[in-house]
Structure 1
Amino acid sequence: MNTAKPESIALFCLTPGGVALAQRLSDALPLTCFTSEKLLQPGFVPFGDSFAKTVEQAFSEYSALVFIAATGIVVRVIAPLLNDKLHDPAVVVMDERGEHVISLLSGHLGGANDLTRRLAAILRATAVITTATDVNQMAALDTLAAKLDATTHDFRQTVKTVNQMLVSQKRVGLWWDRDFAPDAEQFDTRGFIAVDSLDALPSLDALVCVTLRDALPPQAIPLYKLVPKRVVAGIGCRRDTPPHTVATLLNQQLAANHFDSLALCAIGSVSLKQDEPALLELAQRCQIPFHIFSVDQIAGHEQRFPASEFVRLTVGVGSVSQPAAWLMSNGKLVGDTLREQGVTITLGVSDRC
């Protein structure tokens, strides 16, 4: 899934006026500016085989694309590249006089709306944003998800349903679990109705809950969980442990600690396990990072935990899963360590993965 992090921005300009505007913007933002050979300026990158081919490559390599060009040209060049709102980068278009900045694609999840406002502020231009929630001066569930680095089951349909309810002036509640409630005010929640307790709901048509929990008290109205990705898992295992075994035990450990499986954001282990098939497959299947720690990094924290001489003889340290989880969560471990079938799993909760 893409996220609202347009710090890798590719800018395309096709005219002398566009090049001049790109130079102004590059003084204010970190940009990679592309243009034709005949318009090339110091610090700019020439188009490769063609403008279209360069855009195609940038579409998968950058989190945001900015075009100083006619909207029609941009639509035609990106049309064959479009996938869906969950993966497409932010696309912003502006005229070469810098009077209008248009959020064209991935306004919420990709961060195009935020980038449009940012560019417009730099140029003192008019930001053109057409997403329904923004037009109605309301928050959007997908924007909130991006800011929280959160997801939900059946993300596409849930976002569509909740955002439609918001712009239709339905009463959508928003409840924050205790771990997230202190930071709630820093997020845009316009249009949502604040809910303090799940035991005493106001009159609502639906409820969104920001939580890591795998289950919440049943409600008489539609309930949607927005799950921040915060849970990390330190894992140790014997060589060639079947992938199914590791995945099953991890799900068991998540359930034992009442975490929604969507909350998992990273796994980690010692460097000796960097090519362990079960761990590589787990990271790929869950689409999460696999953090590798050196023996020295693990050794720096192993004294905190019970040691196994068998593990020490095998990998050089007496414990793997607990120090790895400690490192990934800055010491915020949760629950007991699972030890079954030659696998150890320790969970932690990170402030941000």
Structure 2
Amino acid sequence: MNTARPDSIALFCLTPGGVALAQRLRDLVPLTCFTSEKLLQPGFIPFGGSFARTVEQAFSEYSALVFIAATGIVVRVIAPLLNDKLHDPAVVVMDERAEHVISLLSGHLGGANELTRQIAQLLNADPVITTATDVNQLAALDTLAAKLDATLLDFRQTVKTINQMLVSQKRVGLWWDRDFTQNAESYDTRGFIPVDNLDVLPALDALVCVTLRDDLPTQAIPLYKLVPKRVVAGIGCRRDTPPQTVAKLLNQQLAENHFDPLALRAIGSVSLKQDEPALLELAQRCQIPFNIFSVDQLAEHEKRFPASEFVRHTVGVGSVSQPAAWLMSNGNLVGNTLREQGVTITLGVSDRC
């Protein structure tokens, strides 16, 4: 998702007062500061051609944009660039006297609300946040999803439905699968009704379940799965294996271990396979990283697993899928390795958000 990262924030200032505030703020927060040629100060970057053109470029390169400017100017310059809440960066606007910090765009998923609070606290300013869940001091499903690095089927509509239910004082339950109960209290769940047992539900209008499972007991109320992206797959395959073969076998392996396909976080293989069409297509279709490991990296863990001399002769190490999955999951492998049609797939579960 597009959550704002501290190392990826661009700041734009248009006046001498804005430059002074930017200088003050960048001592507190990692920022890349842009301004006009005539206002340029050491460490600032001049607009590339124009203010609007620079903003357009930054919109796709940074996870957050902070403007020390009038809100109307910012709205006009970003309006042609807007895509959707899943991809647009966080946009925060503040006045040059640092009286108000406004969360303008991507408040939840993009992290603009959180960034607004952070900047306002640093500058002793007034944070202006207008999202309904925040105004009503409630959690938001999209914020919870971002914190968990999780996703849902029909993400946009589901988030809209659940958040609307929360602000309408509907009874929305929240159940955490056993893999996530230990850290559940560290997340903002205000407004959700805790559910401990799926077999004995309190009176609810809907239920959200945080789980990796592909199947849950049928309920009499609407049930929505919030699926953290934790599953990794180490994959080895013969050269030019058809993409549909790899995809089918991966889905088979996920189903065998009762994982929801949405839980897939990344795939990985040996460096020799970095241009393997089937793996590149799989990563692109699932919109997940394709992690590449050198022979030396895999060889460090080769002794943990059965080795194939044919594989060693072909790629330089006796096993690919198992050590790759081991590295991506920090040793937390799950189930048996699949070996079919010249493809090997090993699954692991990462504990990282």
**1:234 and 2:229 matched:** no
Q: What's the offset of the Cα at 1:6?
A: 4.7
1:84 is aligned to 84
Per the alignment, in what secondary structure is the counterpart of residue 338 of structure 1? strand
Q: Following the alignment from structure 1 to structure 2, what is the Cα–Cα distance between the partners of residues 50 and 96?
A: 21
SS of equivalent to 1:236: strand
- Superposition pairs for residues 328-343 of structure 1, below 5 Å? 328-343=328-343
1:55, distance to aligned residue in structure 2 (A): 0.1
* Secondary structure of the structure 2 residue equivalent to 1:120: helix
Query: What is residue 95 of structure 1 aligned with on the other side?
Result: 95
Residues 1:21 and 2:29 aligned together? no
Which residue of the partner structure matches residue 189 of structure 1?
189
Contact preservation (8 Å) 2:198, 2:217: yes
- Are the equivalent residues in 2 in contact too, given 1:4–1:108 (CA < 8 A)? no
The Cα of 1:159 is off from its aligned counterpart by 0.1
- Measure how far apart 1:2 and its partner are: 1.7
Shift of 1:3: 2.6
Distance 1:274 1:87 in 2: 26
What's the secondary structure of 2:109's corresponding residue?
coil
Shift, 1:317, TM fit: 1.0
Structure 1 residue runs of 4+, over 2 Å off? 3-7
CA distance in 2, matches of 1:5, 1:39: 27
8 Å CA contact retained: 2:175, 2:196: yes
The residue aligned with 1:119 is 119
Deviation at 1:175, TM superposition (A): 0.3
Q: Deviations over 1:14-64 (max 9, x none)?
A: 000000000010000000000000000000000001000000000000000
Partners of 1:164 and 1:300 in 2: how far apart? 51
**Identity percentage of aligned residues:** 88
Alignment of structure 1 residues 155-194 onto 2, 5 Å: 155-194=155-194
Q: Deviations over 1:214-271 (max 9, x none)?
A: 0100000000000000000000000000001000100110010000000001000011
Whether contact under 8 Å (1:4, 1:146) holds in the other structure is: no
Code of the residue aligned with 2:237 in structure 1: it is C
Q: Distance in 2 between matches of 1:130 and 1:316?
A: 57
SS of the residue 1:215 aligns to: coil
Q: Whole-Å Cα distance in 1 between the matches of residues 19 and 348 of structure 2? A: 49
Contact (CA 8 Å) 2:295, 2:317: kept in 1 or not? yes
2: CA distance, partners of 1:189 / 1:36: 43
Q: Does 1:292 align with 2:292?
A: yes
- How far residue 309 of structure 1 moved from its aligned partner, in angstroms, is 1.2
SS at match of 1:209: strand
**1:176-207 deviation line (CA, Å, top 9, x unaligned):** 00000000000000000000110111110000
What secondary structure is seen at the aligned counterpart in 2 of 1:98?
coil
CA shift digits 1:257-308 (9 cap, x unpaired)? 0000000010000111111110011111111111111111111111111111
1:257 is matched with: 257
Judge conservation of contact 2:6–2:29 (CA < 8 Å) in 1: no
- Paired residues, number: 353
- Could you tell me the TM-score, scaled by structure 1's length? 0.99
Deviation of the 1:316 alpha carbon: 1.1
Look up the match of 1:141.
Answer: 141
Change (3 A) 1:146 1:223: same
- Output aligned runs, 1:292-331, within 5 Å: 292-331=292-331
Question: Counterpart in 2 of 1:106?
Answer: 106
In 1, the alpha carbon distance for the partners of 2:162 and 2:5 equals: 23
Please name the residue that 1:8 is paired with: 8
Residue type matched to 1:313 in 2? H
**Consecutive unaligned residues in structure 2, runs of 5 or more:** none
1:48 paired with 2:60, answer no
Contact 1:330 1:350 in 2 (8 A): yes
Q: Distance in 2 between matches of 1:327 and 1:204?
A: 42
Q: CA RMSD in A?
A: 0.7
Cα offset for 1:7? 3.4
CA deviation after TM superposition for structure 1 residue 5, in Å: 3.2
On the 8 A contact 2:6/2:30 being kept in 1, the answer is no
Structure 1 unmatched runs, 5+: none
Matched-pair contact (CA < 8 Å) for 1:15–1:39: yes
Contact 1:9–1:31 (CA under 8 A) maintained in structure 2: yes
TM-score w.r.t. the length of structure 2 is: 0.99
| C-alpha distance in structure 1 between counterparts of 2:49 and 2:16, whole Å | 20
After superposition, the C-alpha distances for 1:313-349 in whole angstroms (9 at most, x for unaligned) are 1111111000000000000000000000000000000
SS of equivalent residue, structure 2 residue 54: helix
CA displacement at 1:4 relative to structure 2: 4.5
What is the DSSP-based 3-state SS (H/G/I as helix, E as strand, rest coil) of the residue aligned with 1:233? strand
> Following the alignment from structure 1 to structure 2, what is the Cα–Cα distance between the partners of residues 4 and 343?
38
